[in-house]
Amino acid sequence: MTVEHIAVENLALESVREGGRFERGSGRTSSAGVRSARVFGAVACVALAAGLFGCRTTSSPEHSTASDDEMRDERVVDSNRESGLSEARDAGPPTVWREVVGSSVEGRPIEVVVIEGEPDAETVWILATIHGDEWAGTPLLAAYVDAVTAAPNLTGGHRVVLTPVANPDGYAAHRRTNVRGVDLNRNFPADNFVDRRGHGEAPLSEPESRALKAVFDRFQPHRVVSLHQPLRCIDYDGPAEAIARGMAEVCALPVRKLGGRDGSLGSWVGIKNGVPIVTVEFARGDERFSADQLYAMYGEMLHRAVVPRIE
Ligand SMILES: [Zn+2]
């Protein structure tokens, strides 16, 4: 076994151990919680399989591993059994696939979970935990995947790209920044990037921000939602005011314009690229709620982001 193989395997095992961390703070006992654990546990399994089968780091439909297909099949079968459907692909759950799209400074995988939509549908990108100590969005996205798998109409046929943990090293260490002390949400190539301590020596100096930019470039989302804490409001950049107001109608968070931060994802996506982006700031302590509770509080808000009702 080569050194490279060992390194990748270690990374994968680390990821498996951390699979349980997606459920951190949830304390859930419901079946939905078990399903969430399986979804994000499966992400870790893909990484493990990728390590064991020749250092492949992707498992997209074009480059799927056997284990990925098996997991997808298992999921479809389970959902059909629950719904009483047999071969009703049209009425069945959406295709959900996962892929490692980059890695952190410490080598943890950065992953996307893609819920496929109708051909020519719009794409919505939702990312959580770019600040590692603001992780309430991560279990919320697990519950979101469960919900749209059980009720596919919730996506309105749109494709939804999820990044459950945008800053995995910060998440593991309970810190805002990556391990090099860089605030990833100040490290994007926006016009207002400031070369300052903690912002990175240059835009995209960090592997995590490069991976996130690659997700944006590849999936070309029509709108983006970034989940943060603890300012308890809904902020937006770019042409996203109507989307933000629609989201605020169905949750307890008010719209509040915070202003584009230096080199932030909002400044880069919304102002520089002109793509609507909503920054959701959950309340302090929201991470103590279970995924199901978070979904009860904010699930409808996510659906409004995916399927805006704009007059
Ligand atoms: Zn934040």
Does position 67 have pLDDT exceeding 80, yes or no? no
| Among 69-73, 259-263, 264-268, the least confident range | 69-73
- Tell me the pLDDT band of 92, cut-offs 50, 70 and 90: confident
Instruction: Tally Cβ neighbours within 10 Å of residue 214.
Output: 15
Does position 175 have pLDDT exceeding 60, yes or no? yes
Residue with the larger pLDDT of the pair 115 and 19: 115
What pLDDT score was predicted for residue 260? 82
Mean pLDDT across 266-281 = 98
C-alpha 272 – ligand 1 centre gap (Å): 20
C-alpha 73 – ligand 1 centre gap (Å): 36
C-alpha 71 – ligand 1 centre gap (Å): 33
The C-alpha atoms of residue 203 and residue 263 are separated, in whole angstroms, by 8
Mean pLDDT across 158-185 = 98
C-alpha 277 – ligand 1 centre gap (Å): 14
Instruction: Output the CA–CA distances (angstroms, integers) from residue 226 to 32, 47, 69, 276, in the order listed.
Output: 23, 24, 29, 11
What pLDDT score was predicted for residue 78? 34
Mean pLDDT, the chain, as a whole number? 78
What pLDDT score was predicted for residue 311? 62
We find that the CATH architecture of domain 86-306 is: 3-Layer(aba) Sandwich (3.40)
What pLDDT score was predicted for residue 91? 52
User: Ligand 1 is a single-atom ion; what residues have CB below 5 A from it?
Assistant: 131, 134, 228
Mean pLDDT across 6-22 = 32
C-alpha 174 – ligand 1 centre gap (Å): 13
Q: Provide the residue ranges of all domains of the chain, joining segments of one domain with +.
A: 86-306
Mean pLDDT across 101-127 = 97
Does position 189 have pLDDT exceeding 70, yes or no? yes
Instruction: Indicate the helix (H) or strand (E) that contains 283.
Output: strand 277-283
- Tell me the pLDDT band of 90, cut-offs 50, 70 and 90: low
C-alpha 261 – ligand 1 centre gap (Å): 11
C-alpha 93 – ligand 1 centre gap (Å): 32
Tallying the residues shown for the chain, one arrives at 311
C-alpha 38 – ligand 1 centre gap (Å): 27
Q: Residue 293: which residues within 8 A CB-CB, separation 6 or more?
A: none
C-alpha 30 – ligand 1 centre gap (Å): 29
C-alpha 226 – ligand 1 centre gap (Å): 9
- Tell me the pLDDT band of 75, cut-offs 50, 70 and 90: very low
- Tell me the pLDDT band of 42, cut-offs 50, 70 and 90: very low
Mean pLDDT across 144-162 = 96
Q: What is the DSSP string of 77-112?
A: HHHHHHHT-SS-TTTSPPPEEEEEEEE-TT--EEEE
C-alpha 219 – ligand 1 centre gap (Å): 23
Angle between helices 31-52 and 137-150 (to 10 degrees): 100
Does position 164 have pLDDT exceeding 70, yes or no? yes
Residue with the larger pLDDT of the pair 1 and 229: 229
Does position 283 have pLDDT exceeding 80, yes or no? yes
Q: What are 219-260's pLDDT values in tens digits?
A: 999 999 999 999 999 999 999 999 999 999 999 999 999 988
